Amino acid sequence: MAVRQRERAIDLFKGLLVFGMVYCHSLQFFSDPMIFPQGQKWIDLINLITFSGFVFSFGYVCQLAYYSKPLAEVWHRMLAAAFKTLLAFYISGTAYRLFIDKSPLEWETIQPILLLNDMPGWSEFLASFTYLIALGLLLFVPLKWLVGRKWVGFAAAGLLLLTTWIPYGYIHAAAWAPLLGTRDFASFPVLQYFPYYLLGMLFARYRIGWDWRVLAGAAIASGAFAWKWLSGADASLPERFPPSVWWIAGPALLLYGYYLLSRVMEKYPLPFMPLEAMGRNVLWFLVMSNVLIFALKSNQPLLLLGLLDTFWMELGLLAVIGFSIWIITKPARGAALINDTKK
């Protein structure tokens, strides 16, 4: 049986998102919008596209890796992926409490995180990814049915936008926030972002590339976001926590542009190898970048950087994380080389 090769384009797509997210987090911790006002514009733009983009890429990858196979063959792999993501949340959340909040390393600090009763800053999205994989597993059969009927799937993605009118004021339990959202703290509710998961599945299932109908739909969605944003009295961005329908629709055109760009980049592998490596190791880069940023902020609380200096710092962080992957995988590469030599 032929082994399906990795889709390098979606790895590049994820790599672009990782690069933007790490830059955004670096700006948030080491820049000041009062001194570097342009930094806030980059933060807002990256915030708009990143989580939705990752949800889309999750749906795309899951369609190829899981939904194209029988449930009996893949359910344990989906559970393992959910567990790894949950572990990433535990690591990032604990690091935030220790380094940023200066909480003591004791059971009272860790227990609420383990029980999902505490959602530390800049780590909530990892809990949401866990819920996303779990929901994708629970809905395995109906999702396969939907995606098997192309236009029904697209219609369902549109109808899911109605979930942005959930009465958030009634939701206060931290453990429900990654699924439904809340007004009590920042969260990334899976239900409201789920249209992008379904769209990712559809793009993978039907090998969608350039399509004027997709472009038109994405332009309408992002145009509605821009209208809502610019028509407000104070020109403030549509609500992000919890997400309004405008916020969910907003990144559609930019993400389709990212998607098409990644398919072009795929044709030129050498220059974009670092981005591709980041896309293949998303979870490691996201967790380790958070830990390093939290630790550096704790050690250098007065460090203040401009946009360019933050960019160079981000490159240093990504290089360190990339080197750590090389170190970890070096024994496996050596063993593979020995086995190949013996053949």
Complete DSSP assignment for 55-124: HHHHHHHHIIIIITS-HHHHHHHHHHHHHHHHHHHHHHHHHIIIIIS---SSHHHHHHHHTTS---TTTH
Is residue 53 scored above 50 in pLDDT? Answer: yes
pLDDT, tens digit (0-9, with 9 covering 90-100), for 306-326: 999 999 999 999 999 999 998
CA pair distance 138, 76, nearest whole angstrom: 12
The model carries a pTM of: 0.94
Tokens 């998961």, residue located: 197
In a domain, 173, yes or no: yes
- ∠ CA 79-84-85, rounded to 5°: 95
Q: How confident is the model at residue 328 (pLDDT cuts 50, 70, 90)?
A: confident
Is residue 332 scored above 80 in pLDDT? Answer: no
pLDDT, tens digit (0-9, with 9 covering 90-100), for 103-119: 999 999 999 999 999 99
pLDDT, tens digit (0-9, with 9 covering 90-100), for 171-228: 999 999 999 999 999 999 999 999 999 999 999 999 999 999 999 999 999 999 999 9
In a domain, 3, yes or no: no
In a domain, 214, yes or no: yes
Res 33: pLDDT? 86
Res 138: pLDDT? 97
Q: What's the mean per-residue pLDDT of the chain?
A: 93
Which sign, positive or negative, has the C-alpha torsion 174, 177, 180, 181? positive
Domain that holds residue 131: 8-342
Q: How confident is the model at residue 128 (pLDDT cuts 50, 70, 90)?
A: very high
In a domain, 1, yes or no: no
Question: 328 or 27: which carries more pLDDT confidence?
Answer: 27
In a domain, 2, yes or no: no
Question: Number of structural domains, the chain?
Answer: 1
Are the beta carbons of 279 and 7 closer than 8 angstroms?
no
